[in-house]
Amino acid sequence: MRGVIHGLLRGRWRGGDRLTEVDAADLFKVSRTPVREALLELASMGIVELRRNCGAILLPFGEKELRNLYAVRTLLETEAARLAATRMDDTAIDQLKSSFTALRREQRPDADWKLDRELHAAIAQAADNPRLAGEIARYSDLVQTMREAVGTVLADIHSASLAEHLRILRCLKQRDTNAAAEAMRQHLAQAASSAVAAVKQVGKAQKH
């Protein structure tokens, strides 16, 4: 039950909090079985640590952890961008480019994330390495999960992202591998900074 996963985090569990299977089951009005599977998935995503007969403890998630996460994500996605620069076909690039320019006209903030995810997925796909694409998708899901867990503060994509996206697409179109990788790196650095800022804001809010 995927809802359980998000639910587990939407509440404000602080890092180090301990949650047993029965507690979680009671909390979400389901049996232990789906909770158990949800916890296993959360553990595989590195969000909780499962300790035998001790319950699941929610790992701390602050600036340091966020930067570590984005470090790995950057590693994966810059490589994908590098590979995509030689392998992605022009029609896919043009299609995405027009999607982004269309988005700019419409000004729909909620569609930003969707298109962002589409771009990253398309690049991962073009890298022609399903395993790499799978890892990228995993991290995309992870970020999405954390975003929902932290709340709406992270909902706004940073304003410069559109320009960054277009720059990535331009590099891909020009078949410039190094430039594409660098553009992706900078895009993710911006995203990381934005996420860190949001987490800090939430941290402050929780103290009040």
Partner DNA sequence: GAAAGATAGATTGCATACAATCCATCAGTT
Partner DNA sequence: AACTGATGGATTGTATGCAATCTATCTTTC
132 binds, among DNA, a second copy, none (CB under 5 to 8 A by kind): a second copy
31 binds, among DNA, a second copy, none (CB under 5 to 8 A by kind): DNA
79 binds, among DNA, a second copy, none (CB under 5 to 8 A by kind): a second copy
Site residues (CB under 7 A) for DNA, limited to 40-59: 52-56
Chain centroid offset of residue 70 CA? 9
Whether the Cβ atoms of residue 24 and residue 8 lie closer than 8 Å to each other: yes
Site residues (CB under 8 A) for a second copy, limited to 124-163: 129-132, 134-135
> What is the sign, positive or negative, of the torsion defined by CA atoms of 7, 69, 134, 119?
positive
52 binds, among DNA, a second copy, none (CB under 5 to 8 A by kind): DNA
The reply to whether 189 sits near a second copy by the rule CB under 8 A is no
Footprint of a second copy on this chain (CB under 8 A)? 33, 36-37, 40-41, 44, 46, 65, 68-69, 71-72, 75-76, 79, 129-132, 134-135
Footprint of DNA on this chain (CB under 7 A)? 1, 20-22, 30-34, 36-37, 52-56
